């Protein structure tokens, strides 16, 4: 795990921490199996990755496949694309968090629950 997040990650965290993004709880540097995700909303199983210039495409593909196999939606943004204008990234993440869950919980029947 990286101990020092990038400036872009710190800035993004200021916009989403403490349920600032429509009340959704995002956590940072979350362990999912053998991998670490930059930001995760576990309730909606959404992973947000902010990628710097040094990324191993093959490693990222294996990592994404593992997380997707376990039900996570991966949202990947390049730091150069994000810049310091987070508005479009936040809109995209917000839309993903507001979308109905792909695997809703089953309805309880009768006296169960």
Q: What is the pLDDT of residues 7-19, one digit of tens each?
A: 899 999 999 999 9
Give the domain ranges of the chain: 7-97
User: How far is Cα 12 from Cα 89, in angstroms, rounded to an integer?
Assistant: 9
pLDDT of residue 1: 43
pLDDT of residue 39: 97
DSSP 8-state secondary structure symbol assigned to residue 65: H
pLDDT of residue 110: 53
User: How far is Cα 59 from Cα 88, in angstroms, rounded to an integer?
Assistant: 27
pLDDT digits (tens, 9 = 90+) for 75-104: 999 888 787 778 999 999 999 999 987 655
- Other CB atoms within 10 A of residue 73 CB: 17
pLDDT of residue 105 exceeding 60: no
The three-class DSSP label of residue 75 is strand
Which homologous superfamily does the CATH classification assign to the domain defined by 7-97? VSR Endonuclease (3.40.960.10)
């Amino acid at each position: 795990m990286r101990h020092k997040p990038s400036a872009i990650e710190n800035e993004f965290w200021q916009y989403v921490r403490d349920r600032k993004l429509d009340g959704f709880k995002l956590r940072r540097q979350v362990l999912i199996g053998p991998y670490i995700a930059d930001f995760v909303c576990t309730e909606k199983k959404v992973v947000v990755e902010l990628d710097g210039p040094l990324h191993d495409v093959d490693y990222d593909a294996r990592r994404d496949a593992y997380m997707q196999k376990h039900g996570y939606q991966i949202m990947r943004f390049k730091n150069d694309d994000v810049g310091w204008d987070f508005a479009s990234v936040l809109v995209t993440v917000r839309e993903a968090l507001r979308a109905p869950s792909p695997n809703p919980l089953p309805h309880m029947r009768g006296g169960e629950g």
